[in-house]
A and B are shown apart, each in its own frame.
Chain A
């Protein structure tokens, strides 16, 4: 998965998008089919109904701050989001995104250069982000080898199944 070239449409989100808006506490133990309907509802109410498979997120600083809830990443994946690009990522969100097989890249310059709905191409393995609409290209921090291996396996659980576990 880390080697794929992803193409889609960018959702431009603000700074400090928290796990409370990505996966509201009130639906914490509901199934993913319910949880995904409430993603970002308090800040971008149309997101869950308008997001399409293949879309990506281009966010500001500290994306995914807050809770350890993996559902924040899982909900986005369930809605078809294929990649997160942010000025900075919360440690827990990044770890969880990789764990569920969703590439999450830190790219300092992309956020300012995208507008809502721009066409985007992402190369997670190479750490390259392209704003197809403007033609501008950006470099993201390369993902460490450990994370690439987890992404390539399709996430931690898939990796555990593949290993037959120790």
Chain B
């Protein structure tokens, strides 16, 4: 069995499952965030089940409307807190602690091989740790909380064999943008993506989280990495026991296997308004921007802030550009403060926002006017996502976004490395 089959076989209490089958699976962990939590708990009551099947395996995070941008949002949060208290929810992260997809790995909730559902599409992020994370809607979440189970189709898997080494100035964000461009925004529709090969062993957990997060933007149900030494070390660093390797069986079958060479990959950018409209940055250099955004569950970790700070240190962003930085969690912000990363960013002209999702989903904080352009490290550039439908969103790596903030136009970060430090 491949990783997706192993995960669903275990969850379904079966020795073997195969792609295409439908299974009823036990859910190991359920995640709800503030957009949907109150509604789900209300509905749970409405269907006559005023409890969750396993409070200790239910996590609630207030991260989207943070800090509350309206009275309605504040009231929503108040309702969530009441529900959490009443239902005895095991893990609750209130406003300001961070983005759910950062917090769950960081706080040790994710284990390789487990099945995790969340009321958020980017629940695929947990595939970075070898967990079967996937998004579901509110009705399905009500079902999962009421019964502890949910139906799943065992997906076909596409395996990506990665070889070679990334050039300096190129990151795993560029890799996943490249894959989206090459295979399309529905290139993995209904499928699991399995990331493997020698280059993957060299990818740190932060990079893996970025890749699994954006697997969803290719339509994937899961975006999976096998659990290895990197996973083991990450789990130990984040308050848990380590892990045995969790690998696909040697005779696992795949719908397709694609070999990807990383060595000649250049920095990439997704152009408006589709995530799969991807171009090497060099080909679109010079497009002026109004706003640069560094953050989100895709690229708001300390590694991302550091990559941006390295580009920006000792310099200042261009006139007319707003640089917004939203650390993915309080812990990330703390580390950015301790290590001087935050100071570098602020001295370069950045506004630091509270850890949360606001700008990325166009909820609040950094919305765009008609005709404005934003380049960000997030995961979606759909029309109207960050405010006006006449605004444009470009997606890129933290280094590329920082480079654009510095020059006021889309810029290949490698072109800033001139000795005179332009």
Interface residues of A (CB under 8 A from B): 16, 18, 20-21, 24-26, 28-29, 41-43, 61-62, 65-70, 73, 88-92, 95-96, 99-100, 144-146, 155-157, 159-161, 164-166
Contacts and interface: CB of A to CB of B under 8 A. Distances in A.
Interface string B66-106: 00000011001000000000000000000000000000000
A24 B189 CA distance: 22
Most buried by B among A25, A88, A90, A146: A25
Contact of B121 (A25, A28, A62, A67): A67
A26 B383 contact: no
B46 interface: yes
B368 to A, nearest CB: 12
Contacts of B22: 144-146
Contact of B137 (A26, A95, A160): A95
A129 B36 CA distance: 34
Given A155-B139, A156-B139, 5 more contacts: A41-B389, A62-B186, A92-B135, A164-B48, A166-B146
A30 B143 CA distance: 23
A151 to B, nearest CB: 12
Contacts of A21: 382-384
A70 B121 CA distance: 11
Contact of A165 (B47, B73, B185, B387): B47
8 contacts: A20-B380, A26-B363, A65-B186, A68-B123, A157-B46, A157-B139, A164-B48, A165-B47
Across the A-B interface, the 5 shortest Cβ-Cβ residue pairs:
A70-B137, A42-B389, A68-B135, A156-B139, A96-B137
Contacts of B387: 26
Given A16-B274, A20-B380, A157-B46, A68 B189 contact: no
B151 interface: yes
B267 to A, nearest CB: 24
B254 interface: no
Contacts of B119: 68
Contact of A16 (B35, B185, B385): B185
Contacts of A146: 22, 151
Contacts of A160: 47-49, 142-143, 146
Interface residues of B, number: 47
A91 B147 CA distance: 22
Given A67-B121, A68-B119, A156 B189 contact: no
Interface of B: 22, 35-36, 43, 46-49, 64-65, 72-73, 76, 118-121, 123, 135-140, 142-143, 146-147, 151, 153, 185-186, 189-190, 219, 221, 274, 361-363, 380, 382-385, 387, 389
A91 B221 contact: yes
Given A26-B362, A157-B46, A165-B146, A70 B139 contact: yes
B153 A144 contact: yes
Given A62-B186, A91-B190, A24 B137 contact: no
Contacts of B380: 18, 20, 66
A24 B147 contact: no
A112 to B, nearest CB: 17
Contacts of A68: 118-121, 123, 135-137
A154 B74 CA distance: 33
Contacts of B190: 91
B48 A156 contact: no
A89 B226 CA distance: 28
B383 A156 contact: no
Given A42-B383, A68-B120, A156 B135 contact: no
A90 B385 CA distance: 18
B385 A96 contact: no
